[in-house]
């Protein structure tokens, strides 16, 4: 099991799962409503500021913000992303 790393540290093209969302509860909730929640699969399609991420089956443009921190756990392969039958 990999340890939690900030989303910024996730390399482009690498797959991960969201481990923890930290910060202002109101803003964390906004992200969750858009599908960024604990356990969601996440992949950095394009890194940078803003970055493009794929969360579940959504493609999102996201600008890192001082009020929320997204922590992710890297997966070994993309196969782990597949939903359990």
Partner 1 sequence: MTTHDRAGFTVAMLGNPNTGKSTLFNGLAGVHQRVGNYPGVTVEKRVGQARFGRHRLTLIDLPGTYSLAPQSPDEMVAVDVLLGRQSDVAIPDVILCIVDAGNLERNLYLVSQALELERPVVVALNMMDLANQRGVQVDVPQLADRLQVPVIPLQAHRKIGLEALKQALLEAVSGQTPKESTPFPEAFRDEVMRLHQWLQDRFGQRVPRYLVKRLLLDTDGYVSRTKQWRGDGDLRRYLREARERLAAAGVQVPAIETTRRYQWVDGILNGIVTRPVQVGSTVTDHIDRLLTNRIVGTVVFLALMALVFQAIFTWTTPVNELIQRAEAGLGDWVTATLSPGMLRSLLVNGVIAGVGAVLAFLPQIATLFFFIAVLEDCGYMSRAAYLMDGLMARVGLSGKSFIPLVSSFACAVPGIMAARVIEDRRDRLVTILVAPLMSCSARLPVYILLISAFIPHRPLLGRWLGLQSATIIVLYGLGILVAIVVASLLKRTLLKGETPPFIMELPDYRVPLPRVVLARVLEQCRTFVRNAGTLILAVTVLVWAAAYFPHPNGLETRMRAEFSTEAAALDSQIKALEMLDRTGGTQSASKSDASGSRRLLDDLKGQQATLESTISNRIAGAYMEQSFLGRLGKLIAPIVRPLGWDWRIGCAVIASFPAREVVIGAMGVIYNLGDGQDEHSVSLSEHLRRETWPGTNRPVFTVPVALSVMVFFALCAQCAATLIMIRRETGKWRWALFTFVYMTALAYLGALMTYQIGTRILG
> Does 11 help bind partner 1 (rule: CB under 8 A)?
no
Is there a contact between 71 and 4 (Cβ–Cβ < 8 Å)? yes
Beta-bridged to residue 53, according to DSSP, are 44, 60
Which residue, 4 or 24, is less far from partner 1 as judged by CB?
Answer: 24
Q: Cβ atoms within 10 A of the Cβ of 19, count? A: 17
Binds partner 1 (CB under 8 A): choice among 5, 14, 35, 73: 35
Residues within the interface to partner 1 (CB under 8 A): 24-37, 45-46, 48-50, 52, 54, 56-65, 67-68, 78-79, 81-83
């Amino acid at each position: 099991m990999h340890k939690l790393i900030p989303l910024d540290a996730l390399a482009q093209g690498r797959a991960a799962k969201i481990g923890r969302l930290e910060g202002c509860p109101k803003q964390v909730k906004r992200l969750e409503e858009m599908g960024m929640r604990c356990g969601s699969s996440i992949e950095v399609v394009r890194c940078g500021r803003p970055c493009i991420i794929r969360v579940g089956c959504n493609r999102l443009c996201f600008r890192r913000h001082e009020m929320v921190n997204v922590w992710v756990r890297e997966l070994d392969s993309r196969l782990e992303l597949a939903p359990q039958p």
